[in-house]
């Protein structure tokens, strides 16, 4: 089966474009996509869509809103993480410790992606937190960078200060057999 992404993820990207340029800019961006048929009908949050359409939209957003020397996808991921935990995952934030939230990453991943491998918390201590994505070698580099920003922002949203060492330390695009994101943090 081909990898799919939830409508929530697509809607988050479209909301980003709308916030920065309004509906006409969203229509312009979508109109230029080869996967524009995916967006012909209203995107449904709980429906799944082709991963290729998601990746194409990521690059279209960078082309329209990115700046030289900016880690655009990391910034985009941070915006998405702030939005996600500020809204739909708010209950997670209020009920659980940071460590418990980190360990629940596999459920969050599965709610966004289908046939995209698994995400597992390998370590969740403040001095060593590692999340690993396995079985998703075709994960696009833009998506990796987005996930880096998303993870940092969600960690901040759950009430911790993330140190400057947060980054993707293993990636299939660099020859590794999995993706791994690491950080250290301290409670506020």
Strand partners, 5: 49, 113
pTM over 0.95? The answer is no
Tell me, rounded to whole angstroms, the distance of Cα 172 from its chain centroid: 17
Within 8 A by CB and 6+ apart from 36, the residues are 30
Within 8 A by CB and 6+ apart from 102, the residues are 121, 124, 129, 131, 155
pLDDT value for 86: 60
Determine the Cα–Cα distance for residues 168 and 64; give it in Å rounded to an integer: 25
Determine the Cα–Cα distance for residues 115 and 119; give it in Å rounded to an integer: 12
Per-residue pLDDT reduced to its tens digit, 104-132? 889 989 999 999 999 999 999 999 999 99
Average pLDDT over residues 168-179: 96
The dihedral formed by the CA atoms of 106, 111, 117 and 119, expressed in degrees to the nearest 10: -20
Per-residue pLDDT reduced to its tens digit, 75-114? 999 999 888 766 555 665 566 678 888 888 899 899 999 9
Domain spans of the chain, in order of start? 4-65, 72-187
Start-end of H helices in the chain: 7-31, 51-65, 72-86, 90-95, 98-103, 105-112, 141-157
Within 8 A by CB and 6+ apart from 87, the residues are none
CB 168 within 8 A of CB 79: no
Average pLDDT over residues 21-45: 96
pLDDT value for 88: 54
pLDDT value for 93: 59
pLDDT value for 51: 98
The mean predicted confidence, pLDDT, of the chain is 92
Strand order in the sheet with 48-50: 48-50, 4-6, 113-114
Residue 2's SS3 state is coil
pLDDT value for 3: 97
Higher pLDDT, 92 or 135: 135
Joined tokens for residue 20: 């920065």
Lowest model confidence (mean pLDDT) among 6-20, 78-92, 133-147: 78-92
Domain 72-187 belongs to what topology? Muramoyl-pentapeptide Carboxypeptidase; domain 2 (3.30.1380)
Given a cut of 90, whether residue 70 has pLDDT beyond it is no
């Amino acid at each position: 089966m081909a990898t799919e992404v939830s409508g929530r993820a697509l809607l988050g990207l479209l909301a980003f474009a709308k916030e920065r340029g309004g509906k006409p800019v969203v229509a312009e961006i979508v109109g230029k996509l080869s996967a524009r048929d995916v967006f012909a009908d209203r995107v449904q949050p709980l429906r799944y869509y082709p991963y290729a359409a998601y990746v194409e939209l990521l690059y279209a957003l960078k082309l329209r809103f990115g700046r030289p020397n900016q880690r655009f996808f990391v910034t985009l991921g941070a915006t998405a993480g702030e939005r996600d935990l500020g809204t739909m995952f708010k209950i997670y934030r209020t009920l659980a410790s940071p460590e418990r939230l980190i360990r629940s990453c596999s459920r969050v991943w599965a709610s966004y992606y289908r046939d995209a491998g698994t995400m597992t918390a390998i370590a969740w201590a403040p001095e060593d937190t590692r999340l690993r994505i396995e079985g998703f070698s075709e994960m696009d580099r833009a998506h990796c960078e987005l996930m880096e920003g998303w993870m940092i922002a969600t960690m901040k949203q759950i009430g911790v200060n993330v140190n400057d060492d947060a980054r993707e330390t293993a990636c299939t695009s660099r020859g590794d057999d999995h993706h791994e994101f690491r950080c250290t943090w301290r409670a506020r």
